[in-house]
């Protein structure tokens, strides 16, 4: 499965996220205590930008209406009736790359 380089590790501080275009998708990459995780950037509720959400540990809260997701898996942390796609992340040296296909 191909990976696309998106940024350097220093560009995403711990506890923050940034959005990148990966192929034909927009993906939010999170730094959780130095480990990097990627989920789709569009909230399944109404498309809120998850990279701009409130981040507490491995949970991001959508900035629009506060649905919450585990950024390590894409699972919803309250309710669990939906999820966001998650993507494998590779770090080589200081370069972060993200899979072009979601995890199955």
3-state per-residue secondary structure call for 22-68: ECCEEEEEEEECCEEEEEECECCCCCCEHHHCEEECCEEECCCCCCE
Among 3, 20, 37, 67, binds ligand FES (CB under 6 A): 67
Contact status: 65 vs ligand FES (CB under 6 A): yes
Only segment of 16-24, 29-37, 63-71, 76-84 that touches ligand FES (CB under 6 A) = 63-71
Contact status: 62 vs ligand FES (CB under 6 A): yes
> Which CB, 4 or 68, lies closer to ligand FES?
68
Beta bridge partners of 17: 30
């Amino acid at each position: 499965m191909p990976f696309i380089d998106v940024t350097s590790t220093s560009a995403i501080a711990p506890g923050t996220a940034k959005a990148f275009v990966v192929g034909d998708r927009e993906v939010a990459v999170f730094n959780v205590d130095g480990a990097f995780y990627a989920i789709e950037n569009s909230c399944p509720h109404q498309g809120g930008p998850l990279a701009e959400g409130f981040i507490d540990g491995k949970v991001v809260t959508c900035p629009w209406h506060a649905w919450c997701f585990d950024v390590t898996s894409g699972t919803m942390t309250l309710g669990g009736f939906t999820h966001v796609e998650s993507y494998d992340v590779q770090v080589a040296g200081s370069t972060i790359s993200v899979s072009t296909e979601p995890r199955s």
